[in-house]
Chain A
Amino acid sequence: MDTVSRVKSSRRRILGTLVGIAASATLAGCAQNAPQDTWEPKGPNAEMIHDLDNLVFPIAYVVGIIVLGLALYIFWKFKDRGQEIPVQGHGKPYMEITLTVVPALILSVVGVFTFRTIFDLAETQDTEIVINVTGQQWWWEYDYPVQPEHGINQPIVTSGQLVFPAGTKVLLRETSRDVIHSYWIPALNGKKDAVPGRVHLLRLEANEPGLYAGQCAEFCGLSHANMRMEAIALSKEDFAKWVANQQKAYVPPAAGTVEAEGEAVYIAQCARCHQVNGLKDAQGKPIISAPDEYVYSGAAPNLTALMTRNTFAGAMFDLVNEKCRADVWGAPSEKFGEAYLKGVTEDCLNQKDLRAWLRNAPEMKPMYAEPNLLGPSDGKYRGMPYLALTEDDIDKLVAYLLTLK
């Protein structure tokens, strides 16, 4: 059984064997390599939870088999075969008390371990890097506060993919701009709700570089199903490269190129809500987006270095085509950083979905971007509206977006 065979520590191997016997019957039919499998921990926090599972599930299996076995025996043994009507006894108190005390004892054992794990998981004192995570209908924003020890000297804002160093204790400070969302990367830790007006802490740590999939787990409205996330663990060196790349100065496209025309379209159509750090207008003044004037929750994904990401629109669509995606997802952990940092090249770009998105976003993803449903939010959009771009504009925009690396 795949789920069980991968356990590493010896303690867990013993437990694992136990689970294996009980669970193999049930789990033989499990999917392999399911990206969100909760029983394939890839980091210490998820392993702590899985250790607890390895205690509780066998107990549940054993109790279940005993009880159901007893039940089947009773169903067969005491079937009406014409025997006498039994004497009307009303029960035996000592038996009742035993049957109350035994489960209580089993549960108190489970309780002790549970108690310990709860407090272990809540530990935040030894955090090494802090990332703010903000949920919004239906995407996640990640911003990296200034942390010179990690080379972060100016804030980095990204979305869709959480990039962090492997083997490092990461603290997510979760909040939300609108409704309750829940951040969940099953391979790294359990879920924690992102509640507007509150800051919740969630610790993540990945043993190895790699890509860990997740999904918003708290129902958050229309496109809840389309609110996915991917967590990217990079080796420390690769992470430093990624950080440096995110902070590099903006290079405007050379005048007269398609890309430069694309920049103009971008400034006219997109810069109202989307931010590209370092972008300047004709007078040389920085362009600062004002999504709060158009979007109910007041933010839109920051598109600086867009092409370093593999997904867009709340990780609903891949920014890379299927082949390039397989290269990244399938890369072994030592090669993963290299594959990921390549980013999106022109021949890797998922032209079809990106163009369809620019053409008519609300058709691609259910959003409250239809003008007839905006009454209660005072006419502000929720999600990207239909912009009526021409095909020509889209060509230019795609060319421009490809320069954002």
Chain B
Amino acid sequence: MFTTGSKYFIGLTALSVVATVLYLFLVNPSDLGALALVGLITSAATLSGVSIFTRDSDTETVEQAVDASAGPASASFWPIVVALGAAMVLLGLATEPVVFVLGIAVLVGGGVEWMVQGWSDRASANAAYNSEVRAKVLGGIEYPGLSAVLTIIVAFLFSRIFLAVSKDAATIFFMLVAAVIFALGFVFAARTDLRKKALSVVLPVSIALLAIAGVVSALSGERKQLVDAAREDHFAIEHRECGEEASKYYDKHANNRVPLRKAVIATITVENNEVSAKMIGLDRKVDTITIPRMNSTTVLFRNLDDSERRLVVNLGSAKVGDTDVVEPLGTCTQLTGKGQEQVLTLTIPKPATAEEPFSFTVPGANGEIKLVVP
């Protein structure tokens, strides 16, 4: 025999199934809408399952449930939460998507709490029993839910503060906060008499402080360096320079790591001011390197001279956009010091023409290695 509560949820499931079917057939369905309705079916079905298994197997409850319908419902503040959620959804639609998502969360959370409370209120005439029923159903959500919310709030607010203050200040602030938390832990652990009273003061105060600091930081925005960095995109590939060093960021940290020896098709070495090349698998010097067309190919550059050098590859020239300006094409490694290595990965879509042959050069050193793309 099904209790009223179960019937309610079963009905809700059935209704949402009907709604989904109608939606899919009659309304031009969008993915999100269909998903929302499927989500509704799933949650309603879960809740009806929960309610059937908790209550319906227990024949006494059925009788109690009948009694319960006569009793008055307890006061509830969930309607207010739901209303708040609805307001946030509307507000979010007009303003920020974050508010919208939060509003949905509040709406769903409040709705579930309200429904379960309403349902448990009708479970029996015994208020204590009702609240236990409610706890049984929601306990599985409330502990992890509240913990997750608390974690996210703390972590999020802290990160806002770190983002707003300068790098060094963030480090120092972090250190101080951690030390204070730890110290407070010791104080409360040592002075049990203090604990109850002080905790009730310290905890709200620190949460309030954190909240204020966090919100203020979030509103004041991130520190200038980060804003600038985001705007200027320091490490974008366009900043790679084969001539004079102009960018403050891109070309300053040559990484002298060769990711994968097996990927290197040829090694270009500069020694005693002379450029020479060797190809993988062949034990002699070559003056031409052949690279398959449109294939990501890696060339290793090794500088054995004292001065800093870079390997430049010249790939002809091309018109810039629709203008008549012709710019040379090509790319280069970063500057490398003595005994260091750099790799250059090339993917060349088109072969050279007779007028504009491709080549590898090292500015400041003699010699040129021809590059052939068949």
Task: List residues of A whose CB falls within 8 A of some B CB.
Answer: 124-125, 127, 130, 132, 134, 141, 143, 145-146, 155-157, 171, 173, 175-177, 196-201, 286, 288, 290-292, 297-299, 302
- How far, in whole Å, are A109 and B360 apart by their CA atoms in the complex? 50
Q: Are A197 and B282 in contact (CB under 8 A)?
A: no
Chain B residue at minimal CB-CB distance from A292: B349
Residues of B within 8 A of A291 (CB): 294
Q: Are B372 and A173 in contact (CB under 8 A)?
A: no
Residues of B within 8 A of A200 (CB): 262
- How far, in whole Å, are A157 and B294 apart by their CA atoms in the complex? 14
Tell me whether A130 and B281 are in contact in the complex, defined as CB-CB below 8 angstroms, given that A288-B350, A288-B353, A290-B350 are known contacts.
yes
Residues of B within 8 A of A292 (CB): 294, 349-350
Tell me whether A145 and B288 are in contact in the complex, defined as CB-CB below 8 angstroms, given that A156-B374, A198-B260, A288-B351 are known contacts.
yes
Residues of A within 8 A of B260 (CB): 197-198
- How far, in whole Å, are A146 and B286 apart by their CA atoms in the complex? 10
**Which of the listed residues B289, B293, B347 has the most CB atoms from chain A within 10 Å of its own CB?**
B293
Residues of A within 8 A of B295 (CB): 134, 175-177, 196, 298-299
17 residue pairs from A and B, CB less than 8 Å apart: A124-B282, A134-B295, A143-B374, A146-B288, A146-B372, A171-B281, A171-B282, A173-B281, A175-B265, A177-B294, A198-B260, A198-B262, A286-B354, A290-B350, A298-B349, A299-B292, A299-B293
Query: Distance in Å from the Cβ of A162 to the closest Cβ of chain B?
Result: 14
Query: Distance in Å from the Cβ of A179 to the closest Cβ of chain B?
Result: 13
Chain B residue at minimal CB-CB distance from A143: B374
Chain B residue at minimal CB-CB distance from A298: B294
Q: Are A197 and B296 in contact (CB under 8 A)?
A: yes
- How far, in whole Å, are A292 and B280 apart by their CA atoms in the complex? 26
Interface string of B329-341 (1 = CB under 8 A from A): 0000000000000
Residues of B within 8 A of A288 (CB): 350-351, 353
Q: Are B374 and A302 in contact (CB under 8 A)?
A: yes
- How far, in whole Å, are A233 and B289 apart by their CA atoms in the complex? 25
Q: What 9 additional pairs, Cβ within 8 angstroms, besides A124-B283, A175-B265, A198-B262?
A: A134-B295, A143-B290, A146-B290, A196-B296, A199-B262, A199-B265, A201-B281, A292-B350, A299-B294
Please provide the 8 A-B residue pairs with the shortest distance between their CB atoms, ordered closest to farther.
A298-B294, A145-B290, A155-B374, A292-B349, A157-B374, A198-B262, A134-B292, A143-B374
Chain B residue at minimal CB-CB distance from A202: B281
- How far, in whole Å, are A292 and B347 apart by their CA atoms in the complex? 11
Residues of A within 8 A of B347 (CB): 298
Residues of B within 8 A of A177 (CB): 292, 294-295
Chain B residue at minimal CB-CB distance from A196: B296
Q: Is the C-beta of B264 less than 8 angstroms from some C-beta in chain A?
A: yes
Residues of B within 8 A of A290 (CB): 349-350
- How far, in whole Å, are A297 and B260 apart by their CA atoms in the complex? 22
Chain B residue at minimal CB-CB distance from A293: B349
- How far, in whole Å, are A359 and B264 apart by their CA atoms in the complex? 41
- How far, in whole Å, are A198 and B297 apart by their CA atoms in the complex? 8
Query: Distance in Å from the Cβ of B347 to the closest Cβ of chain A?
Result: 8
Q: Is the C-beta of B86 less than 8 angstroms from some C-beta in chain A?
A: no
- How far, in whole Å, are A171 and B280 apart by their CA atoms in the complex? 10
Tell me whether A155 and B372 are in contact in the complex, defined as CB-CB below 8 angstroms, given that A127-B281, A146-B288, A291-B294 are known contacts.
yes
Tell me whether A297 and B351 are in contact in the complex, defined as CB-CB below 8 angstroms, given that A198-B263, A199-B280, A200-B262 are known contacts.
no
Residues of B within 8 A of A198 (CB): 260, 262-263
**Which of the listed residues B260, B290, B292, B353 has the most CB atoms from chain A within 10 Å of its own CB?**
B292
Residues of A within 8 A of B350 (CB): 288, 290, 292
Chain B residue at minimal CB-CB distance from A156: B374
Q: Is the C-beta of B279 less than 8 angstroms from some C-beta in chain A?
A: yes
Query: Distance in Å from the Cβ of B299 to the closest Cβ of chain A?
Result: 11
Query: Distance in Å from the Cβ of A164 to the closest Cβ of chain B?
Result: 15
Within 8 Å by CB of A141, from B262, B292, B372, lies: B292
- How far, in whole Å, are A288 and B348 apart by their CA atoms in the complex? 13
Chain A residue at minimal CB-CB distance from B374: A155
- How far, in whole Å, are A381 and B282 apart by their CA atoms in the complex? 36
Within 8 A of A (CB), among B248-281: 260, 262-265, 279-281
Residues of A within 8 A of B354 (CB): 286
Q: Are B279 and A130 in contact (CB under 8 A)?
A: yes
Tell me whether A173 and B263 are in contact in the complex, defined as CB-CB below 8 angstroms, given that A134-B295, A290-B349, A292-B349 are known contacts.
no
Query: Distance in Å from the Cβ of A288 to the closest Cβ of chain B?
Result: 6
Chain A residue at minimal CB-CB distance from B287: A146
Query: Distance in Å from the Cβ of B318 to the closest Cβ of chain A?
Result: 13
Residues of A within 8 A of B297 (CB): 175
Tell me whether A143 and B292 are in contact in the complex, defined as CB-CB below 8 angstroms, given that A155-B372, A198-B263, A288-B353 are known contacts.
yes
Interface string of B297-309 (1 = CB under 8 A from A): 1100000000000
Residues of B within 8 A of A171 (CB): 281-282
Query: Distance in Å from the Cβ of A20 to the closest Cβ of chain B?
Result: 38
- How far, in whole Å, are A196 and B347 apart by their CA atoms in the complex? 12
